[in-house]
A and B are shown apart, each in its own frame.
Chain A
Amino acid sequence: MAEIRMEGLVKTYPGGTERATDDVSLDVADGEFVVLLGPSGCGKTTLLRMLAGLEFPDAGKITIGGEDVTYRAPQDRNLSMVFQSYAVFPHRTVRANIGFGLAMRKVPAAQIAQKVAWAAELLQLTPYLDRYPAKLSGGQRQRVAVARAIVMDADVLLMDEPLSNLDALLRLSFRAELKKIVQDLGTTTVYVTHDQGEALSLGDRVAVMRTGRIVQLGDPLEVYDRPADTFVGGFLGSPPMNFLPATVHDGQLSVAGHARPAPAHLQGHSGDLVVGVRAEHIGISGINDTDGTNGIEARVDVVEPTGSAVLLTTSVGAGPGPAVLKVSAPPTFRARPGDTVRLDLAPDALRYYDAETQLALEP
């Protein structure tokens, strides 16, 4: 067990023009589960590989448990890792795969056997211990990779998109198992994914990355609820956050042709901005259901029942470029394309972003 400190990590691959990671600093506390989340190519794997020692940074420093390991070889770092490709050795049985790290560290055979049996039991691999990986399904190979990583008693556990090669159902069920296993182990964990659902459900904290930088770091609900910029809001959530152009003038906020008093921290503001709102925070009612005029009229374009909700794609305001809003309505809500509905944007559900920088305008 150990804490990780990354300071100003810069890495440009030979022949590359862009920095794969650009001055990344991140502290992971002892026993913490941090998720690196970001779109493909944003530098998550590079960061993880530098932690593992498979890649050395051009600048910056990595300490694990207080020791500077920036340029230390992988085998001297006492970590374990689940690779995206699993990298389960095809020439070794499941048993020998799981015990590989322990055997390399010259652990006595009896102890290895005991640990392998424990991990195999935990990951339901006991019937397959004497098989070769070629005779396993993808999900089983995945489990072998995880079992191989957790028997190690390593200081740090690294995982690179470990669930990305599983089918949707398996991914969901294994996600919960993984969470429980890692919680019980209590190992400091860095987990890489491009799947925002995984990030939110697994992490103690989530670091959202974009083009080699960490753009927001926080606990999952905070990152989801208060995205630091429009990129994070647009990347997290399914559907992602809605963004609408808006203006502030004389203390009045006008969104989609609907004016209301601007919130306190925007009173001094004047000009264009962007309003963000989550689909499930938008109230919706039929046009004739309420007498109030306290809502925005919108036209329904697409209706997608998802079972637990009805996802509506609506357009607000006429004119050349109507704003599109995704609205998550209760599953009982009935609407047909072409209907007009009334949307209610509750003031405390709205987030405000600078129109130029796309950064949050926080109170």
Chain B
Amino acid sequence: MPGPTAGRATGSAPSRIPSVVWLVGPSVLLMALLFGWPMIAGIVQAFAGPEGFTLAHVERMVADPYFWPSVRNTLLLIVVLIPLQFALALAMALLLRTNPRFGGLYFYVWAIPLAVSDLAAGLVWLAVLTDRGYLNSVLAGLGLTPVPWLAFDNPVSLFVAVLVAELWRATALVLVIVVAGLQGIPKDYEEAAAVFGAGPWQRLRHVLLPLLRPSLQVALILRTILAFQTFAVAQALTGQNFPLLVGETYRWYTILQNENVAAALALVVLLLSMLTSVIYLRTLRQAQT
């Protein structure tokens, strides 16, 4: 079968290795080395005992009093955070689409959190919310009683603190993806919709959102996977008072020095991420046809 490379005769017998191998090979190799191998090693570690296969690590993980709270917190954070982030990012992107004065400047300001490391972001919010932080100083200045926002016995305000910090930190990613997606949609479609009687909400619902679906899909999968990995912000703000799955993984690995349980926890995060990605892809694809 003469392929497109057939003209590149070398004098010897024509090479039987199709060009696709050369094109895909390096990245497959890299993926195998950097992702495949550690993943397999991790899976092995989660189930490896002195006498071969064991569920002891998994049992120990589930028995830990922090495990179920961390699962619940992680899921709760995702369920509340992601819709808020998408609503905010969409609103901001639509504002930018109206070409306001200094629109370019707003975009860069809004995108700044993207460049801030998550630990730094967590420390910034810690400075704001800690007992003698900026927020309480302002409250005191106004003659109000300061509130212990990050107290361990105040789970609601702990949750809200992590939520706000994550909202500030990670909405920019959704914004950038949505803005890029919107730029690919010609104004003609909105204009046609307007001429044919669609008001602003109808244009958003019947024209912009459907055309934006691919971008939203990417942003949703990316953001959800990243939200499962929320760690540094919560760690800086709450320590262990608001346990999350990745925080627990870290605790088992470093403080409790148990690599096997840590690996089992990492596996839980992986499974949850894969499960939601598959669900997203399924539901969004079905809606398309």
Which chain A residues have a beta carbon within 8 Å of chain B's beta carbons?
52-54, 73-75, 77-81, 83, 85, 87, 89-92, 100-101, 104-105, 148, 152, 158
Contacts and interface: CB of A to CB of B under 8 A. Distances in A.
A104 B197 contact: yes
Contact of B194 (A74, A90, A148): A74
Contacts of B197: 75, 78, 101, 104-105
Given A74-B191, A90-B211, 11 more contacts: A52-B191, A73-B194, A78-B197, A79-B195, A85-B186, A100-B193, A100-B196, A104-B206, A105-B197, A148-B196, A152-B196
B276 interface: no
A62 B193 CA distance: 21
B198 A75 contact: yes
Interface in B175-208: 186, 188-189, 191-199, 202, 206-207
B191 A54 contact: yes
A80 B194 CA distance: 10
Nearest to B194: A74
Contacts of A101: 196-197
Contacts of B191: 52, 54, 74, 83, 87
A72 to B, nearest CB: 11
A109 to B, nearest CB: 15
11 contacts: A52-B195, A73-B194, A81-B192, A83-B191, A83-B192, A87-B189, A87-B192, A89-B193, A91-B213, A100-B198, A104-B196
B186 A75 contact: no
Contact of B188 (A79, A87, A152): A87
A330 to B, nearest CB: 47
A-B pairs, 8 with minimum CB distance: A101-B196, A87-B192, A87-B188, A104-B197, A74-B194, A91-B210, A104-B198, A81-B195
Contacts of A53: 194-195
A77 to B, nearest CB: 8
Contacts of A87: 186, 188-189, 191-192
Contacts of B192: 81, 83, 87, 89
B188 A83 contact: yes
Nearest to B213: A91
A209 B59 CA distance: 82
Interface residues of B, number: 18
Given A83-B188, A104-B202, A89 B207 contact: yes
Contacts, number: 61
A91 B195 contact: no
A92 B207 CA distance: 9
Contacts of B186: 85, 87
Nearest to B207: A89
A54 B195 contact: yes
A85 B188 contact: yes
A80 B211 contact: no
A73 B191 CA distance: 11
Contacts of A104: 193, 196-198, 202, 206
Contacts of B206: 100, 104
A162 to B, nearest CB: 13
A111 to B, nearest CB: 15
A278 to B, nearest CB: 39
A84 to B, nearest CB: 9
A230 to B, nearest CB: 36
B189 to A, nearest CB: 6
A74 B199 CA distance: 9
Contacts of B207: 89
Contacts of A85: 186, 188
Contacts of A83: 188, 191-192
Contacts of A152: 196
A87 B191 CA distance: 9
A360 to B, nearest CB: 38
B46 to A, nearest CB: 44
Nearest to B202: A104
Interface in B26-64: none
Contacts of B195: 52-54, 74-75, 77, 79-81, 158
A90 B192 CA distance: 12
Nearest to B198: A104
A150 to B, nearest CB: 12
A224 to B, nearest CB: 32
Contacts of B189: 87, 89
Interface string B60-71: 000000000000
Given A54-B194, A104-B193, A75 B199 contact: yes
A92 B196 CA distance: 15
Nearest to B209: A91
From B191, B206, B213, residue with most partner A Cβ within 10 Å:
B191
Contacts of B202: 104
A160 to B, nearest CB: 10
Contacts of B193: 89, 100, 104
A260 to B, nearest CB: 55
Contacts of A105: 197
A152 to B, nearest CB: 7
A234 B162 CA distance: 72
Given A89-B207, A104-B202, A75 B188 contact: no
Nearest to B211: A91
A89 B191 CA distance: 11
A274 B213 CA distance: 62
Contacts of B188: 83, 85, 87
A54 B203 CA distance: 14
Contacts of A75: 194-199
A141 to B, nearest CB: 13
Nearest to B199: A75
Contacts of A81: 192, 195-196
Contacts of A78: 197
A78 B206 CA distance: 19
A75 B196 CA distance: 6
Nearest to B188: A87
